Amino acid sequence: MIGSARRLLGVLFSGCALGAVATVALPAAAQAAPLSVSACDSSVLTQPFTPWADSDYYKLAPGGDFESGAAGWSLQGGAAVGAGSESYAVSGSAGSSSLKLPAGAVATSPQTCVNAAYPTFRFFVRSDTPGTTVTESVVYQSPEGTVTIPVGTVAAAGGWMPSPPMLTGSAIAGALNGGTAWVSLEFTASGGTAQVDDVYVDPWRGG
């Protein structure tokens, strides 16, 4: 089952541009599972990326503003919460903290529910070191084990900027797990120290 999930998610990430529709053959068990297109929890939805021509609604990932530390996050290689927050106050008020990732550090969020209604995520990133990048992966849990899929790499510039939308693969993963799946978001820094802040998951991919 892990191999099937990895292959199907790989098809989604490598063969689909954002916004395109993919047709893939699912195993019989997955075909029997309903694809939910409604919110999988009662999280508050906002429009944090409107200034960047994105009117979609998002939920904040668990602990994704880092204003109360990084409870539930797995921090490795020197990853830690530090001073400095994204400068646009998209959460409704100016913050004072963000996630700091030295080169080689890895931070993995707590799990959050996703289904066909939660196909993308976005966040804010910056770095003082030219050439710094942050690689994003989605980590799915299944009864058979863990599936980790890299989904993109973002360059971290000197000022805070939003990432492009990143695919979660929720439609496929939800089908493989009874309609709803649980996903963690993983961030890995390279080339220098990066800051990540205000991590959001898009519930509908539509305004």
pLDDT in tens, the chain (207 residues): 445 444 544 544 444 333 333 333 334 334 444 555 566 788 899 999 999 999 999 999 999 999 999 999 999 999 999 999 999 999 998 999 999 999 999 999 999 888 767 788 999 999 999 999 999 999 987 667 788 989 999 999 999 999 999 988 776 666 556 667 788 999 999 999 999 999 999 866 555
CA atoms within 13 A on the CB side of 147: 27
Q: Is residue 67 helix, strand or coil?
A: strand
Q: What is the pLDDT of residue 121?
A: 95
Q: What is the pLDDT of residue 32?
A: 41
Q: What is the pLDDT of residue 1?
A: 45
Distance separating alpha carbons of residues 99 and 86, to the nearest angstrom: 10
In contact, 123 and 162? CB cutoff 8 Å: yes
Task: Give the number of other Cβ atoms within 10 Å of residue 101's Cβ.
Answer: 30
Residue 15 CA: distances (Å) to CA of 130, 134, 140, 205 = 31, 22, 19, 18
Q: Is residue 5 helix, strand or coil?
A: helix
Q: What pTM, to 2 d.p., does this model score?
A: 0.82
Domain ranges of the chain: 2-202
**CATH no. for 2-202:** 2.60.120.260
The amino acid at residue 22 is A
